[in-house]
Amino acid sequence: MRFYVTTPIYYVNDVPHIGHAYTTIAADIVVRNRKQRGGETFFLTGVDEHGTKVRQVADTEGVSPQEYVDRISGAWRELPGRIDAEPDFFIRTSDPQHAEFVRDFLQCIYDNGDVYEDIYAGLYCVGCEAFKQESELVDGRCPDHPNTPLQYLEEKNYFFRLSAYQERLLALYRDRPDFVLPSFRANEARSFIEGGLRDFSISRAGETWGIPLPWDESQVAYVWADALVNYLSALTYARPGEDLRETFWPESRHLMAQDILRFHCVYWPAMLLSAGYSVPKQIFIHGYLLLDELKISKSLGNAIDPLELIDRYGADALRYWCARAVSFGQDGSASLSGIADRYERELGNDLGNLLSRTTAMVARFRDGRLPERPGTTDALAAEIDELAAESRAAIDRFDLTGAIDRAWSLVRTLNRYVTDRKPWELAKDEAKTAELDQVLYDLADGLRVAAVALAAYLPETAPKILDALGQPHDLAWENVAYGRLRAVDGVEAAPPLFPRLEPPADADAA
């Protein structure tokens, strides 16, 4: 089972904000889940370093574009580590191997007769790095970059015959209904294609910061014609001496927010077909996290630094909140105060307290000994079987919220189980020893299952739960099954998983 997941390469001139963290966390969750299921995986992220805006800023600062991107790519390199994401490779489009690959790729398209020369005249948005049609403008401005005046450009460019791919793209969408998910996004892409495709420029004249075209070095590749190719180029040099295309192409799942749907769902598959490649397996478009009613996208500059949330709540809490605050795949509003609430009520009480109470009762009533499985509690066994199947199926649909909701309902069941069975009362009655053993076993075993089922979301917390229960760090998905708790001695009351936090100093300001 091969699984290759990508985030977009982020535009290096931005600062990392919660929108980028959101996509990267989602990609990390699906890839960690695949690893638990024994899949061969590859996870790619990185930065897009070319483009006019980068060169302009470097010019103003009096440094070369390369020096400039070397300096500012640092914050991006740190992002995955801070949110506990583990990409296999971090690509930069200024990598010489990427440039060489892009030149070969574009040469294939050129050799196939899909490139021609023409004059382009029109309004260009440097923010989008795209020409804009009048019909796309709002008050004469790019709706995503209202503060960036459009430039009138007239230049000789090389064009890609996108129009020649209309029928093949429509056939792709017809034959593979799950090529783009969720399906309302596939419909969006399909109606754009049905509306008629215009050829697009794949080069820029008079720009120096980019990859020179192999057949005309006076022009550089248009940033998107350069950036999209990263999903392939990285596979050729991420592991020296190996060509991972053989293993992972086209097993690729591209994850992104809706603002770059058209580039990925229309331009990219057409370019791949032209260059003789298969199209990716799947493209998943998620919505925006609407934080307190503000659109979190790279364009509007209302960046909220996810790293600030991590300093207070930890990476696991941020990951948990991203997965639960808004149904993944939909737009939805989430409030930053929601993270505090979920930290306390759900992570702290539902999960953390359950572990503390369970381990404390094992320590007090059984001298820290968890026995062999005394018997089977059918209702719990059935619920865990369902969780294993449903959570897995949900993740395969990129329903990251559905999958964690399913796991969380086990946590809630276990809390009700404590309340209903009252182990502290069973402990007072010698005749109920066997019953107490079963209840404590079920709680510890249920927590073990929850740790495995939540491990992709809470990679720091899951091993702590297993440690507290004296269990090995075996996160294989097959362990999402009832009754696999190992007998151990020496269980002690576990410290809080998510300790109570003092109110933030600037609580009023927030």
Instruction: For Zn ion, give the closer residue by CB, 126 or 481.
Output: 126
**Shortest separation between residue 174's beta carbon and Zn ion, angstroms:** 31
Cα separations (Å) of 165 from 267, 270, 298, 490?
A: 9, 6, 30, 66
Of 357, 330, 379, nearest in space to 482 by CA: 379
Instruction: For Zn ion, give the closer residue by CB, 122 or 338.
Output: 122
Query: How many residues lie near Zn ion (CB under 5 A)?
Result: 6
**Shortest separation between residue 315's beta carbon and Zn ion, angstroms:** 32
Beta strand pairing status for 151-160 and 115-125? Answer: antiparallel
Residues 469/370, Cβ–Cβ less than 8 Å:
yes
Instruction: For Zn ion, give the closer residue by CB, 249 or 288.
Output: 288
- Rg of the chain's alpha carbons, rounded to an integer? 26
Query: Which region among 3-11, 136-144, 325-333, 402-410 touches Zn ion (by CB under 5 A)?
Result: 136-144
Q: Which residues are catalytic?
A: 17, 20, 125, 128, 142, 145, 295, 298
CA dist., res. 464 & res. 499, Å (int): 14
Q: At what angle do helices 18-36 and 400-421 cross, to 10 degrees?
A: 70
**CB-count exposure of residue 80 (10 Å: 0-12, 13-18, 19+):** buried
User: Which tokens belong to 182?
Assistant: 């969720």
Query: Which region among 56-64, 134-142, 154-162, 189-197 touches Zn ion (by CB under 5 A)?
Result: 134-142
**CB-count exposure of residue 508 (10 Å: 0-12, 13-18, 19+):** exposed
State the DSSP H helix or E strand holding residue 124, giving kind and residue range, or none if neither. Answer: strand 115-125
For Zn ion, the binding residue among 27, 125, 213, 450 (CB under 5 A) is 125
Binding flags for Zn ion, 77-116, as an x/- string (CB under 5 A):
----------------------------------------
Residues 411/351, Cβ–Cβ less than 8 Å:
yes
Residues 458/440, Cβ–Cβ less than 8 Å:
no
**127 contacts Zn ion (rule: CB under 5 A):** yes
Instruction: For Zn ion, give the closer residue by CB, 52 or 358.
Output: 52
**Shortest separation between residue 381's beta carbon and Zn ion, angstroms:** 55
**CB-count exposure of residue 9 (10 Å: 0-12, 13-18, 19+):** buried
Instruction: For Zn ion, give the closer residue by CB, 128 or 443.
Output: 128
CA dist., res. 365 & res. 362, Å (int): 6
Binding flags for Zn ion, 141-170, as an x/- string (CB under 5 A):
-x-xx-------------------------
User: Which tokens belong to 374?
Assistant: 């005394």
Instruction: For Zn ion, give the closer residue by CB, 144 or 383.
Output: 144
Query: Which region among 125-133, 302-310, 391-399, 403-411 touches Zn ion (by CB under 5 A)?
Result: 125-133
**Shortest separation between residue 162's beta carbon and Zn ion, angstroms:** 20
**Shortest separation between residue 143's beta carbon and Zn ion, angstroms:** 8
3-class DSSP assignment, residue 487: coil
Instruction: For Zn ion, give the closer residue by CB, 300 or 389.
Output: 300
**Shortest separation between residue 144's beta carbon and Zn ion, angstroms:** 4
**Shortest separation between residue 158's beta carbon and Zn ion, angstroms:** 22
Query: Which region among 126-134, 257-265, 303-311, 383-391 touches Zn ion (by CB under 5 A)?
Result: 126-134
Query: Which region among 127-135, 152-160, 169-177, 191-199 touches Zn ion (by CB under 5 A)?
Result: 127-135
User: For residue 412, is it left (φ>0), alpha (ψ between -120 and 50) or beta?
Assistant: alpha
- Which positions touch Zn ion (CB under 5 A)? 125, 127-128, 142, 144-145
